Structure 1
Amino acid sequence: MLCRLKSSTSVLSKARMATLVATEEFPYNVTVTPKVSAPAVIKANKLASGVQVVTRTNNSSTVSLKFAVLGGSSTEGTAKGAAHFLSHAAFAGTQNSTGLKLVKHLETLGASFESHADREKIVYDVRVLPDKAEAAIEAVVSAIASPPHAAYVLEEIRAKAQIDYNKFAVDRSAQLQELLFEAAYGESPLGSSRLAPNLKKLTVADVLKYRAAHFVRGNVVVVGNGIGQEQLEAAINKSVAALPEGPAVALPASTYVGGDVKVRTDLDGASLFGLAFPVPAGDAGKPFKILNALIGEKLASQNVCARNFIHSFAAGGIFGVESGAPQHLQLVADELKAIAAKSPSIDAVKQKLTLEHFLALEGADSTGSLLSAHQRGVAAPAAGDLRSVTPEAVSAAAAAALKANPSYAVLGATTGTPTFAAISKLLR
């Protein structure tokens, strides 16, 4: 039974203080003048130095910044694990300053900061109040331009990086996702793991070689929210001289191929299953976002132990499901067939996904949306606006998924699990 709670609010005026029931009409004449906010403006420019700058100007009380060194794990070659390693070295200091001094300086500015790496980039993430933004920019550019070279510093980083390896060793979902990437992209760069096969064998020389090739002016993108384009460009130009010259690193091609990967490991007799399909790049991939959401709704309605996902890259991506039972893959196949046969009702789903996109663009991690859109060469507002997607386009996306060579992964007890041929037949 729902209860109706009676709340009260204390209202203080110069004349008197009164406690009013929340439903009571406010007795005073108050004139409210709302602040008119200017529309957000997104700008992008490539500086003479080669650094790319993207900003979203609004009336935010904070400044969010992302400094992306392009490449990530997909451009490591034989230096496998270097990008992840360097993400842990992001705030380890400079050639003229210790990591402790750099961190203390950022903390003195009141900045919040972190770093991470993925298959396409290494990211320095900073949030700060507007009046401290330029000082924070100078500190981070210095960290990127003049990182420590001392072997002992990098060896200390190895211990920090090992923590992620230890977490990955017990994260079955993360392991299954890596298997799906291998099944989807084979031996191409996107199919390769983000982590080194053996962190101890990743040499300091390999890390420094990767860093020398990637930490250059033409390979850096700086994204800001809550800061003007001119202000950010001026701050970058003031500090960029310390950054070595060099061109952008081209992301190697990774063609979706599909296939299967099974890894036997002890999960107390259990198995995890993953099934994924290709997603085209650009606007052609928008119907697949809605299709992925519809699959998620179907799984949720059946209350099964399964999770849907979608991963996007500059050249496309994959979507699919991971589950604890092969019967759930049958459920996905049946839903894809049903959507392919009859255009689904998508009005509510596409409105919700579009709303989530705009909330993200206006939220604390807006720079993530801006950076992702910039890497894909599209305008950030349009990147996640799905309102123009038609039911017929989603139906066609389901049909395309059924025709594609699927990516199938099994982790755990592999004996007796469905074969790749059986999974392929399930989808036909």
Structure 2
Amino acid sequence: SLIALTLLIAAANQVMLNVPETKVTTLENGLRVASEDSGLSTCTVGLWIDAGSRYENERNNGTAHFLEHMAFKGTRKRSQLDLELEIENMGAHLNAYTSREQTVYYAKAFTKDLPRAVEILADIIQNSTLGGAEIERERGVILREMQEVETNLQEVVFDYLHATAYQATALGRTILGPTENIKTINRGDLVEYITTHYKGPRIVLAAAGGVSHNELIDLAKYHFGNLPARYKGEAPTFPQCDFTGSEIRVRDDKMPLAHIAIAVEAVGWSHPDTIPLMVANTLIGNWDRSFGGGVNLSSKLAQMACQGNLCHSFQSFNTCYTDTGLWGLYMVCEPGTINEMMHFAQLEWMSLCTSVTESQVARAKNLLKTNMLLHLDGSTPICEDIGRQMLCYSRRIPLHELEARIDAIDAKTIKDVCTKYIYDKSPAIAAVGPIEQLPDYNRIRSGMYWMRT
């Protein structure tokens, strides 16, 4: 209701005023220390490293992810058992993940254990033994993980989408890498990846919760001060990834549902059009059959999907990388409704370019602001936000600045920006399942071209 939304916005504004500042310090070797102290009794601290699968080549694709698996398998001073017991006895959590552009290792612990958490993180990224027996064991684990991923159709479709959108480039490859690479990656590949990429200027030590910035600086100097700042010889070049409008279709009529993703090329994190595209993304929204209502939802596409029984679910997405991005829609449909769902989705995209109203934009802006604040609930998502933004923007954008940039957007901005990226563009499409009814590429491509008023 309107009253609930008004209260929510008022609460959000109050949160904005109460946010502690993010302090940032750069060490002599280029490593950045960034933290936000909210005085809690727990904290999250982690290493955000500007190195993911994008920095691999065809031969070593999968190395960054393999390395993440090896991080907790023992160091020169701790066996795997010692490490696990120490974390467990502290009541802490240790975790890691790899994306296309970043590798992250982080720990959640009591505030009093911050020094130990930082010391453990330093140990696992600088002194991992990468033993032969452990490498062989993890090989099997990763191969099993790949089989699991193959059953998650959303992940499969998004990997296909990247493969077709960024053909023959580093962003087109998967994070896990191909099976033949997993079978052949050796200790030398892992060591080479660390020595090539784990350099001071490419690492952020981020922390949130109960953390003293000065204490964190001292810990960083002590544990990471010896990380090299420079490259021996040439620094690795940033791999260029060009977008290709094209498609991958994997037809399988035995599957009950079709999984389809369609995207246009958008922009990188720091591009001025990123925020308008986020608002446009919020305007399209998402919907799932399990939601109640539907007919009364603010997203027009959700209303159509619900009334016409057009799909089981859909979600809009805006995936950003350093210099490019994918803006689009992922949908799960029964075979008979694909054509219609695709038609209405593209109709909605075109209305963003031509007829979106001020009230629709105002609602999407409020929703985007609320979603951003709801996301920053707890020390781990805040720490993640700090680490990611430091790598993407070289600073943490204050909430009030972000809010001002969202507020500045109106219907004209949305029309102009969407026209620039959607209108008359060649999309990338990935589809798996009973997709006989999916219109051919040229027909979808012509759906991106609508008579503009």
| TM-score using structure 1 length | 0.85
1:357–1:384 contact (8 Å) kept in structure 2: no
Q: Paired residue for 1:257?
A: 244
Q: Paired residue for 1:5?
A: none
Aligned ranges 1:74-89 → 2 under 5 Å: 74-77=54-57, 78-89=59-70
Shift of 1:384: 4.9
Residue 385 (structure 2) aligned to one of 369, 372, 380: 369
Q: Paired residue for 2:328?
A: 320
Shift of 1:415: 5.2
Letter in 2 for 1:380: I
1:146–1:243 contact (8 Å) kept in structure 2: no
1:116–1:123 contact (8 Å) kept in structure 2: yes
Shift of 1:298: 3.1
Shift of 1:250: 5.1
Shift of 1:321: 1.1
The answer to which of 326-335 and 128-137 deviates more is 326-335
Residues 155 and 217 (structure 1 numbering): CA distance in 2 closer, same or farther, change over 3 Å?
A: farther
Which SS does the other structure have where 2:22 is aligned? strand
2:74–2:128 contact (8 Å) kept in structure 1: yes
Structure with the bigger percentage of helix:
2
| Cα deviations by residue, 1:344-395 (Å, 9 ceiling, x for unpaired) | 2221221221122233335341112112222221533357532222221112
Shift of 1:52: 1.7
Number of matched pairs: 392
- Among all aligned residue pairs of Structure 1 and Structure 2, give the percentage whose two residues are the same amino acid: 20
Letter in 1 for 2:141: K
Distance 1:254 1:154 in 2: 31
1:62–1:128 contact (8 Å) kept in structure 2: yes
1:186–1:258 contact (8 Å) kept in structure 2: no
Distance 2:52 2:25 in 1: 22
Shift of 1:273: 1.8
2:48–2:388 contact (8 Å) kept in structure 1: no
Letter in 2 for 1:81: G
State the structure with bigger RCO (CA 8 A, min sep 6), 1 or 2: 2
The answer to which of 380-389 and 331-340 deviates more is 380-389
Q: Paired residue for 1:30?
A: none
| TM-score using structure 2 length | 0.80
Instruction: Please state if 1:341 is matched with 2:354.
Output: yes
Which SS does the other structure have where 1:346 is aligned? helix
Letter in 2 for 1:372: R
Letter in 2 for 1:336: W
Q: Paired residue for 2:295?
A: none
Q: Paired residue for 1:398?
A: 418
Q: Supply the RMSD in Å over aligned alpha carbons.
A: 2.3
Residue 175 (structure 2) aligned to one of 194, 203, 225: 194
Aligned ranges 1:134-149 → 2 under 5 Å: 134-149=115-130
Distance 1:215 1:153 in 2: 21
Letter in 1 for 2:374: L
Instruction: Please state if 1:352 is matched with 2:358.
Output: no
| Cα deviations by residue, 1:21-76 (Å, 9 ceiling, x for unpaired) | xxxxxxxxxxxxxxxx9750112232112212211222333211121222100001
Residues 249 and 370 (structure 1 numbering): CA distance in 2 closer, same or farther, change over 3 Å?
A: farther
1:144–1:243 contact (8 Å) kept in structure 2: no
Q: Paired residue for 1:55?
A: 35
Residues 219 and 93 (structure 1 numbering): CA distance in 2 closer, same or farther, change over 3 Å?
A: farther
Q: Paired residue for 2:289?
A: none
Residue 224 (structure 2) aligned to one of 225, 240, 256: 240
Aligned ranges 1:82-97 → 2 under 5 Å: 82-97=63-78
| Cα deviations by residue, 1:143-185 (Å, 9 ceiling, x for unpaired) | 1011113211211222232332121111111110111112222
Residues 257 and 44 (structure 1 numbering): CA distance in 2 closer, same or farther, change over 3 Å?
A: farther
Letter in 1 for 2:196: A
Residue 411 (structure 1) aligned to one of 432, 437, 451: 432
Which SS does the other structure have where 1:402 is aligned? coil
Distance 1:274 1:38 in 2: 39
Distance 1:268 1:89 in 2: 36
Residues 384 and 61 (structure 1 numbering): CA distance in 2 closer, same or farther, change over 3 Å?
A: farther
| Cα deviations by residue, 1:251-279 (Å, 9 ceiling, x for unpaired) | 42223332212234565375322111222
Instruction: Please state if 1:218 is matched with 2:201.
Output: yes
Q: Mind listing any 5+ residue stretches in structure 2 that lack a counterpart?
A: 1-16, 286-298
1:278–1:319 contact (8 Å) kept in structure 2: yes
1:369–1:380 contact (8 Å) kept in structure 2: no
Shift of 1:229: 2.4
Letter in 2 for 1:298: K
Shift of 1:294: 1.3
Instruction: Please state if 1:276 is matched with 2:260.
Output: no
Residues 246 and 156 (structure 1 numbering): CA distance in 2 closer, same or farther, change over 3 Å?
A: farther
Q: Paired residue for 1:119?
A: 100
Structure with bigger gyration radius: 1
Q: Paired residue for 1:18?
A: none
The answer to which of 56-65 and 122-131 deviates more is 56-65
Residues 366 and 249 (structure 1 numbering): CA distance in 2 closer, same or farther, change over 3 Å?
A: farther
| Cα deviations by residue, 1:280-331 (Å, 9 ceiling, x for unpaired) | 2333111111111111223322223222222122223112112222422211
Q: Paired residue for 1:379?
A: 396
1:41–1:58 contact (8 Å) kept in structure 2: no
